[in-house]
Structure formats: C-alpha cells, structure tokens
Amino acid sequence: MPYSKDILELKRHLLRAAESSNSYFDLNKLIVDVRKVNDSEIPYSGLGARSPNDYFPSIKIIGSKLRTKEGDYTTYNNINTIFTLGGRYSSNIITSDVPFFVSGMSYGSLKLPAKIALHLALNRLAKEGIRVIMNTGEGGALPWELYGSEESWSDVSKKRHEYILSYTDRLLKEHHLDSIDRDNLFCRLYPLITQYASGRFWKDPSYLLNADGIEIKIGQGAKIGHGGLLPGPKVTDLVAENRGIPSYKAAHSPSRHLDILGPEDLVAKILELREITDWRTPIIVKVGCSRVYDDIEIILKSYADAASIDGFVGGTGAAPWELRDIIGINTIPSLKPSREAIENYYSTNERDEFRLIVHGSVWDSERIAKCIALGANGVGIGTGFLLSMGCTLVQDCYTNVCPAGLTGSYEKLDIQTSVNGIVNYVKGTLLELKNIAGSVGRKSIHDLRREDLVATDELTSMICGLPLVDGRTFKDPVKEIVKMVIDKRRCLKDHKVNKTLEDTSN
Amino acid sequence: MNDADKFIIRKAILELAKTGTPRFTSIDDEVRILYNINSKAINLWDFVTAIGAQLSRPPYDPYRETISLDISIGRKRSRKVILNIPLIIYGNIAIHYSSLESVHVALNRLAEKGNVLGLISEIEINTTKDNKRKYPLFKKVPFDINDGLEDYKKSHPEGLMLQYKDETSLKMLQNFRKEFDGPLLVDVSEVFPLYIKTILEEGADGIIVDTDKVTKNERYKGKHAIAVIHDAKKAINDYYKGREENDDDNAILVIAGDVNSAGKIVKAAALGANVVGYSTSMLIAHSNMYSEKPSDVSSIADNVYRHMVGTKGEIKGIPAALGYSDFHNLSPSDLRTSSIDASIQGDIPLEGIDRTYKEMIEQVVNEYVSEKGIKLNSSETQEVVRSIVRE
Amino acid sequence: MCGICAVMMENRNKDFPIGCLLYKMMESQQIRAQDSTGVAIFNKETNKEFYKLDYFRKNNGKYNPVTEKVPPERLDKTFDELTQDPNIVITSFAKEMNLLKDIGLVRDLDAKYKIRSIQGTHGIGHLRIATSSRVTPDNAHPFSTIVMPDIAVVHNGEITNYSKLRSSLELQGYHLFTRCDSEVIAVFIADQLLRHGDLEKANYELIKKADGPFTYIVATSNSLALVRDKFGARKGIFGYNPGNRNYPPFWAMATDLSALDSVGATFYVETPQPGKPKIFYNEMKTRSIPN
C-alpha cells in the first residue's frame, strides 16, 4: 500500500514506543492501529488470512510424482480428470475437463482487463478441449459472459440489445481496449456459474436464466458472517451501472440474505430458483468453513445439487483485517466433517449426484489432489489464477493500486501475457494432476483416496484421520504412553501395599 | 497469507504460468523444507480462531440489528459502573502526564458520544469545570500504602484498583471494602493463581490479571496467555459453584497484558474475559514522545479518539459475524484451534473434529483400557490423561 | 427446528380431541421440516396420584421408550437413579401432560400413538429440521424438564449463547439431558417459575438473556406463551376460531399462516411484538399482555 508519509511516520513512532514497552505488541500488526488512528475506519485488507498451520505441508501423497521422465510431460495420458456438476435435482449437467475452476472474483473487485484475460484464456482452453468453469463473483456478470452465444440473444428486445452493446463499448473504451474484436469477445465456450449473493447486484434476468449454474453464496471463507464489500473508490461509474448501485459509495452487502434466516428459508429460496430456471440449472450453495457438519447437513436436505465450502484462508478483494484473520477454520479440517455429514445422509437415503466443492488456499496440483483424496469432488481456485496473471501478493486489493494491474492500476496489465499465463497454469496443473494420479496407480483423479495419504505430524493425523508416515495412527504412540503410565501407577500401588505390609508386620 | 510462504507460492505458480509444464517440486514440499530450517516462532494466539455464523446459525448485521457491547461492573452490593465498550485503558507503559492528559481528553470525547470506557491510573488528571471527568476512573492504589484511604476519600474516583501482593494485602482490601461502595478491582498478577477465592469472598468486584506479568512468573513459565485466562475464569467459576445467591452477583474478569488488538480482545472474551485492560491507546499517546516534532495534547487526543472509534467498529462487527447480538455472549465453544498446545492450555476444541486434545486422549485411554480389560474409574482416567498431556 | 404450533380451548373444554387440530396444523407445515416431530397435550383428567416419567433408554444406537408411574415419595430417589445413568434421557415429567415425540413425520407419530384422538384443554406441537444437534428421538421437541412437572417447550430458531446459559444452569445444579439448545428454554423457565411463579416475568428474563433468532411456545398446566426474540427474526402468529355447533372456540398459534388456515383460526390474526411474550391462560377469559 503506498502509505502516505504521515502514516509511515506514525508507524515508526508507534514501533519505537512498542519496542521499548513492557507489554507485548505484535509489531507486524501495528499498521492496523496506525490506519485506525489515521481515519477511524475499520482497516481492510485483501487476499487471504495468515494461518500458521494450514495442514497441507503436513500431508504427503504416497508415491506421487509431479513430473515424469525428462522431456516427456506425461506418460499418463488417459487419466480421467472430468468433473460433472448437477443431475441431483437439475436436468442439466455442467461438465468440466479439469477438477478445478475459477472461484468467484467479481468485476469491481477485479478490474476489467483481468476479467477479459480470464474470459479469453478460458475460451482458448475450451477450444483446445479443456473446459474450465468460471464463476462470476457477486458483482454481476459482464455482457459477453451472459450473451456469449447466438441463442442467448433470441429473447432480447432491440432496445436492450442496443444498451448492452453500448455499455460494452463504454467499458472497453474506458480501459483503452476498444480495438478488441466484438465477435471474438461475445463468445463463451466455457461453463459459467453466476453467484447469487446477498447484495443481489444484477439487473438483468438473464443473469439467472443464461447461466449454466447458480451458486447461492451464503458466505465466503475470508469474511464469514460478514457481507461482501467493495470500497467506495473502486465503485466506478461503470461498475455501479453494472450492479445497479450509486457510484463511488462503498457497496456493503448484507451479512446474510435478508430472506434466508434458516434452513427452511434456504429450501424456499432454492425451490424458487428451480421454478425460475425450470429445474434445468444446477444450484450450488457456498458457505465459509465454520460449523461445517451442520451446514452441509442442511444443504443436503435443501434440494441443492452441490455444496461449496471455503476455508478461512480463502482470498477476498476486501475484508475487515481482524475479522478476516480470526473467523473460520482451515480448509483441510473441514473436509472430514463434510464427508461425515454426506456419508451419514446417504446411510439413510439413496446415493445421488451430490457434489462437494472446496476452496481456500488450494494453489497447485498437489493441493488439489490432497483435497480430492480427502473427499472433495472439485476445487475452486482464486488466488492461484491471480498469481498466474502476475499477482505480487501485496494484499492491497481493496485499493485502486495494484502492481500487477489486476485489482487496480489496470493500465499495467498486458492481456495477452496474462492469457498465456492462465492457459499455461491450467495446462501445467492438468499435466501434474495426471502424473500424480498415474504415479499412484489410479485411472482417474477421483479415485485418489484417503488411503493414498499419510500425515507427518500427530495433529494432522488426528484431524484428518490419516496414518502417520510409519503406518501407525496417532493413537498408537499414545497407547504406548498409556501403558507406561498405567504400569507405573500399578508399580507405585504395589510398592505402597508392600510398604504397608512391611510396616504392619514390623 | 503467511509472508514467509509468499515467495514460494509465487515462484511456483509463475513457473507454471511461464512453461505450462510440470514442475519438479510442489509448493508443499518447499514449504516443508522452509519450516524445517526456520522453526516457526509464532504466537499461540494466531493458532486460535472463532467459528462464524453461516447457515446453521445466521449472522446478525450490525447495520440492521443492535449489537450490544455494554457491561456493568459491580456485584450485588456495590454501586455499579457501566461501560459502553468493554475496555479499560491500562498502561504498563511509563506514563507521562501529557500522554495521560491526551487519553483523558479522548475518553471524555468518547463518553460524550455515548462510548464510555474506563481508565486505570494512579495519577489523576487535574480537571477544571470545563474538562470534568465523564468516564469512570479506577484509581490505582499501590500495595505499599496502608493508609491510602484518606487520599482516595478526597478524590472520589468511580472505582478503585488494588494490587494484591501477599496476605498483608488482605487487610488493605478489607479496609477499602468497608469504606468504599463502588467497584473494587483487585490486580492479582503478582500472586496468580492464588488467593482468588479469598479476594472474591472479601467482596472484590472483579480481578485483574496481566498475562504478560503472569507468564513471567515461575508458576506459569513456558505457558501462554491462553492458559492464564482459562485458569482465571475457572477460578471465578469455582468460587460461584454451589454458592447460593448468585443472581446479579457477577464478579468480572479483566484481562490485560498482550491482549491489545481487536482479534485478541474477541478471543480473550470468548475464553472468559469480561473486560479487557487495553494498552494500545496509551501506546498511541506515548508514541508522541518519539516524534521529532511532538504534537500538542489536543492532536494526540484526536489520534486516540479516532483509534478507539475504529476499534469499536471492529469489536462490534465480530460478534455479529458469530451470530451474537451481545458481545458478552461469546463463549469458549465459539473457539477452535490448530495447535495441540493451545487446545491443552485453553481447553479449546481442535478444528474439524470439534473436540479438545484432552478429550481425544481420553477416548484413546478408554479404548486402551477396554481392549486390555483394565478397570479405571473416571478420576483415575482423568489422572492418566493429565500425565499423558503433560508429556 | 422450524414448525411450531399450539392450540388452547377457550372455554376449558376438556373433551375435544385437540390432538386432531395439532395434527392438521403440523401436517400443513410438514414440507418445511421432516426430521422429527412431537406433541404435548394437557388434560386435567389424568391421574393425579402419580407422576408420569417418560424416558428413552439408549441401547446400541436404539432409543427404547419407557414410561414409569412414580409416587411422590419415590420421586427424588428415581431422579437420582435415572440421572446417574448416561444411557437414560428423561423426556417428560408430568402429571397432566402427555408428551410424545419421535423421529419421522407427523403421520408416523400418529400411527404409533394415535395423537389425533387425544383430548385436552391445550397442547403444542413441533416439526424439526435439525440445525445443530443430531437427528435422534431425544433431540425432537417438545422439551420438558425434571425441575418442575408439566412444562413443555417447542422452539423454532437458535439460542446462540446456549453453552453459556447451559453452564450457568448446570452451575446451579440443574441436570440437562441433551445437547439441544431448546432444552435450555424449558429448564430456564422452570427455574424462573420456582423463584417467583410469574410466567410473564420468566419469559422477559429469557428474552433478555438468550441470544440468537428464536420463537418458542412454552406450555404449563394452565397457560401457553408465544415468545419472539427481541429482533423478531423468526415468525410466530396466533389466531382465533370462534367455533360452531360442531366444535368449541379456540385460539391457535403457529409459524405459518397456512397452519392457522388449516384449522380455521383466521380471526384476529396477529403477531406478538418482538421481545414481548403473548400469554394465554386457561380460564374463561383469555388474558393478554397490555400494550
């Protein structure tokens, strides 16, 4: 963050005072206090929380290799990596050629060039036979996302058609992208999921009708229990127009859907959406990881096709700093209770096409594989895609300043380079996934099991229910200690008894 | 994101973005190597999080529902003092008069806007008719003054803070309790965890525990503030167990020390703190001393004021996100941890499995004894669990 | 937890099968919640000499219902024995109340216990969709308590500071059998009634102390109270059926209007103000809280 001189000076003084005080102050967090002194506002931050233990490095996949022999990127060409979504209650099914997809990152939070880069990259990948699902994020969809095919224009009035094209022109002109070929742009070859969040930031019914899937966002990992947030300076005129809100005023979404206060309201909402979409469109419910077992249990009973859980380290464009860092649980510990909730449900109900999707600091293929082995069906990636476009992780996404041109300073982003980056990231990750599955001896990425994993420490073994590296469970060393303690007690007791006998006989 | 990992993560993804081909090592392999080399020196607080409200419990919205932070200090027989924000400004920092003055002006401004906080201080600010104190002062009575009674009678503080050193302090407590009808808080940091029951029986309205001081004591060496807060709350609960007439007789727990950010305030409150002894406001006032061009009292007061407004917003938003309309309804069942140590010290359930480490060990012990056909009664089982957990 | 209902006969009629009215109301709301169901019906005609204790005995995951008739002099001893056994969950402590609950739909409950034919002066019913504790027969509503006989509570919503309230009740020596937050309402109200006997005051205390979105109905041997939390986050309405030559007049309460509709209780339909209990007494004139 390009902090002003005053702020930096204040921070310096505060640092010196803290260092020479008797109390303990977290020196890394003093900047939060400085910002409060500066403007009395709750300080925001971007991207994900600090988690000193996110468990991923403490899990190993036995025998897996990311890379096969030199010069040959994969010998495992026939590994199945297809992911499907829908079919439990919806008549349509979304198919993705990879088990991971782009998590919701809204237009507004991301600047236009970044969104266009994602759109073009996913189109290119789809042309090469790799369909990747995109999520619009909660800020509404861009015109070419909703009208990316001939049929999508069929019910649109002439007036509306003109408006959409004029809005597109204004969008592209503002970002010096007017030379982009409109036919190329208004083409969507990848599946799109639109996000139904509490702010309801869209005006066009095609947002729900032209989507391949709808994701009801109850919450996200970075700000569990808190609504979506777009700071005032980022609500430009064009962003405001897309969302139907006033410009340059902070957009606070309510912390809950005002019409969803409990499980029965969720049932009503999903049935309403089903009616609107003629029971065609798959519906996903997204929650942040907190009371995972209870939330998944409710989602299973609510006529949804899939549940999506987001660990508290998941990224965001803007969230209150402290709230982001302290609410929620990690991604890995959420998988076991989710699976348990699902298996308990299916112990009394017929098994069907319910899917579990997981988000939250899953950046590369090995992490994707670990999530799938622990029970996820698909994985959402957000920050990973930003990194492939050049993100430098300064976490100032809530401002208009971004060194990579993603969430601010959009003029810095080179679309072609970003598109190449995204395409390579997806292809490289796909190859690695095939190698991992193949080297472990599986024919499909979805055949990875808990049995293919080991934990390297006691805590991870306990939380994930995995054996330790030497094959024992966390219980075995504990039982050895239990034996020692009990034997010791018995010895002491016997010694006491003998002593008493001695004393009485003397 | 963890700063140490950022470089690894970025390097890995950029490599993929550049080549589109598989790498040699994964992010997790590299992170594992990194942490083998540098052992993580991270504060245990960072391993503790709170579980928020989503579906099974809906969140409240601070813009739609009133979130209450009020707390009343004073047991059944005492005059009550009400704070609108559960913080008492506390300084273990060398206090200059001008820093104290700035804090005083800021606290007055906050109180005028309906945000009353408390202050613990030995020195009282000279007030005139125009800047009279609008917030409660808990006047600190040092433990080596036996006749401090006369002094305090002249100054009329709203509350008193006594420091407990040893049994001799008991007499002082008894004398003050007889004479003073307002809230009497006793700082037990020097003697923790002893004497708490006695102090409460003598009618103290609350105890103050400075976690920084206590963790330097012999008895709590190697332990963290989490253990201190947990044990302090347990001591107060034990005092009330089985006692008749507990209605409206709420002795409070004030936790001071390293609880100086909104996140830690919430975690301490969930562990059992009713009020937090907050030192950052004093730090902000005091940092003026390190400036090349020190500002005047009024500007520093503005800084403290703005900082507190921001802090209030933070600590209001968090209970709402956890599903509570009252800050003081936070409880230990709202916390989870990703550290065995934190689970042992604070009885905090582990993430995902929602049981404490002790409970997991107890389950293993029960499994073992039933496998081996050994008979253990419940107190023997607890003893075995305790000795394992200590290992 | 999401469908609650209650009925009170206006003129203390005790022969009318109000179980039938409760059944109709619950059936109309069944789509909302299908995990478990329960009713509690009050009738002064039941045996006055003995206390009736209903409990589940857990055995290998199965919940076997047991009913015991206990004379007053043996009551304390019986409680001591039963509370020591971790496999016992006492579900009802009553003289005038008949509390029946189980997992499944309301028609399953009717098939088992013939609730449609149960007569009484007033009663409550509940349909559950679990939000935070497991779907087992002991977690079904209504909840009763061993603190006082003839108290039953049905609840829609969450008591978010449940563990705090529970620990403070346990500190006072009360025994709670389940981990369901609704049980705390019954014990809390019973504790309050022991202290001062005023149902209105007891409900005001709980509204003050409990956090979270909730609407509950508490029934005692001569009253029904419909209570919404201070924000009114959850629905709760009541209405009146003036009766005709086939049946006497009665008041009904429910979560949904459709439930009141199903029993024709569509006169004077109102919702209690958030944070203000609406109490019906089992007398000739119903007494309501002055606004």
- Please report the ipTM that was assigned to this predicted complex: 0.92
| Domains of chain A, residue spans | 5-41, 56-453, 459-505
Closest approach of C32 to chain A, Cα-based (Å): 6
Long-range contacts of B30-39 (CB under 8 A, 24+ apart): B31/A56, B31/A57, B31/B5, B32/A57, B32/A58, B32/A456, B34/B4, B34/B5, B34/B8, B35/A57, B38/B4
Q: Give Cβ neighbours of residue C19 (< 8 Å, ≥ 6 apart).
A: C39, C41, C114, C115, C116, C117, C118, C119, C120, C123
The verdict on A267 touching C (C-beta cutoff 8 Å) is yes
Farthest-apart Cα atoms in chain B, separation: 81
Chain B neighbors of A299, CB-CB under 8 A = 55
The verdict on C13 touching B (C-beta cutoff 8 Å) is no
C-alpha to C-alpha distance for A300 and A306, rounded to whole angstroms: 8
**DSSP three-state, residue C87:** coil
CATH of region A56-453: 3.20.20.70
Which DSSP symbol is given to B93? S
Joined together, the tokens standing for residue B311 give 């802090």
Chain B neighbors of C211, CB-CB under 8 A = 323-326, 329
How many other CB atoms are there within 10 angstroms of residue B155's CB atom?
9
Chain A neighbors of B35, CB-CB under 8 A = 57
C-alpha to C-alpha distance for B92 and A406, rounded to whole angstroms: 44
Chains near A with 3+ CB pairs less than 8 A apart are B, C
Strand B335-337 relative to strand C3-9, pairing = unpaired
Q: Give Cβ neighbours of residue B136 (< 8 Å, ≥ 6 apart).
A: B81, B83, B116, B118, B119, B157, B158, B159
Chain C neighbors of B324, CB-CB under 8 A = 160-161, 211-212
Which tens digit of pLDDT belongs to each residue from A301-319? 899 999 999 999 999 999 9
**Are the beta carbons of B325 and C230 separated by less than 8 Å?**
yes
> What predicted TM-score, i.e. pTM, was given to this entire model?
0.92
C-alpha to C-alpha distance for A225 and B316, rounded to whole angstroms: 13
Closest approach of B353 to chain A, Cα-based (Å): 6
Q: Are C120 and C88 in contact (CB under 8 A)?
A: no
pLDDT bin (cut points 50, 70, 90) of residue B93 is low
The verdict on C269 touching A (C-beta cutoff 8 Å) is no
The verdict on C33 touching A (C-beta cutoff 8 Å) is yes
Closest approach of C46 to chain A, Cα-based (Å): 37
Closest chain C residue to the Cα of A341, Cα to Cα: C134
Which tens digit of pLDDT belongs to each residue from A358-386? 999 999 999 999 999 999 999 999 999 99
CA A367 → CA A55, A363, A391, B29, distances in Å?
10, 7, 20, 11
Distance of CA A237 to the CA centre of its chain: 28
The stretch B219-228 carries a mean pLDDT of 92
- Which of these, A56, A53, A62, A52, lies nearest to A467 by C-alpha position? A62
Check pLDDT > 70 for residue B92: no
Chain A neighbors of B321, CB-CB under 8 A = 223-226, 255, 323, 327
The verdict on B127 touching C (C-beta cutoff 8 Å) is no
Percentage of residues in chain A having pLDDT higher than 90: 74
C-alpha to C-alpha distance for A382 and A360, rounded to whole angstroms: 8
- Homologous superfamily (CATH) for B71-334: Aldolase class I (3.20.20.70)
The verdict on C160 touching B (C-beta cutoff 8 Å) is yes
State the SS3 of A292-325. Answer: HHHHHHHHHCCCCCEEEEECCCCCCCCEEHHHHH
**Are the beta carbons of B13 and A33 separated by less than 8 Å?**
no
What is the model's pLDDT at position B156? 82
The verdict on C171 touching B (C-beta cutoff 8 Å) is yes
Each residue's pLDDT tens digit in chain C (291 positions)? 478 999 999 887 778 899 999 999 999 988 778 889 999 999 887 667 889 999 999 888 889 999 999 999 999 999 999 888 888 999 999 999 999 999 999 999 999 999 999 999 999 999 988 777 788 898 899 999 999 999 999 999 989 999 999 988 988 889 999 988 899 999 999 999 999 999 999 999 999 999 999 999 999 998 999 999 999 988 899 999 998 888 899 999 999 899 999 999 999 999 999 999 999 988 644 444 333
CATH of region C3-45+100-281: 3.60.20.10
**Are the beta carbons of B58 and C233 separated by less than 8 Å?**
yes
**Are the beta carbons of B242 and C173 separated by less than 8 Å?**
yes
C-alpha to C-alpha distance for A315 and A307, rounded to whole angstroms: 19
Which tens digit of pLDDT belongs to each residue from B315-366? 999 999 999 999 999 999 999 999 999 999 999 999 999 999 999 999 999 8
Conformational region of residue A395, where left means phi above 0, alpha means psi within -120 to 50, and beta covers everything else: left
Closest approach of C80 to chain A, Cα-based (Å): 32
C-alpha to C-alpha distance for C263 and C261, rounded to whole angstroms: 5
Chain C neighbors of B246, CB-CB under 8 A = 171-172
Comparing CB atoms, the residue among B26, B56, B64 nearest residue A366 is: B26
Give me the residues of B, 215-244, that contact C with CB < 8 A. Answer: 237, 240-242
**Are the beta carbons of B306 and A38 separated by less than 8 Å?**
yes
Is the peptide bond preceding residue C142 cis, with omega within 30 degrees of 0? yes
State the SS3 of C14-54. Answer: CCCCHHHHHHHHHHHHHHHCCCEEEEEEECCCCCCCCEEEE
The verdict on B390 touching C (C-beta cutoff 8 Å) is no
Over chain A (506 residues), what is each successive 10-residue block's mean pLDDT? Answer: 83 90 84 92 91 91 86 80 95 96 94 96 96 94 93 90 94 92 93 94 90 95 91 92 92 91 88 95 96 94 94 93 94 95 92 94 95 96 95 92 92 93 96 94 95 94 93 88 83 76 67
Specify which residues A199 forms β-bridges with. Answer: none
Which tens digit of pLDDT belongs to each residue from B15-28? 999 999 999 999 99
The verdict on A26 touching B (C-beta cutoff 8 Å) is yes
End-to-end CA distance of chain A: 83
C-alpha to C-alpha distance for B177 and C59, rounded to whole angstroms: 56
Chain A neighbors of C131, CB-CB under 8 A = 262-263, 294, 298
**Are the beta carbons of C132 and B237 separated by less than 8 Å?**
no
- What CA dihedral angle connects C237, C243, C248 and C252, to 10 degrees? -10
Closest approach of B159 to chain C, Cα-based (Å): 27
The verdict on C86 touching B (C-beta cutoff 8 Å) is no
**Are the beta carbons of C2 and A263 separated by less than 8 Å?**
yes
* Cβ contacts from B onto C, under 8 A: 47
Comparing CB atoms, the residue among A24, A29, A483 nearest residue B212 is: A24
Chain C neighbors of B55, CB-CB under 8 A = 131
Q: Are A23 and B212 in contact (CB under 8 A)?
A: yes
Q: Are A116 and A177 in contact (CB under 8 A)?
A: yes
Amino acid identity of residue A212, one-letter, is D
Q: What is the CA radius of gyration of chain C?
A: 17
Specify which residues B337 forms β-bridges with. Answer: B48, B350
Kindly write down the DSSP assignment for every residue of B21-86, as one continuous string: S--SS-HHHHHHHHHHHS-----GGGGEEE---SSSSPPP-TTTSPPB--EEE--TTSPPEEESSS
Chain A neighbors of C29, CB-CB under 8 A = none
**Are the beta carbons of B13 and A384 separated by less than 8 Å?**
yes
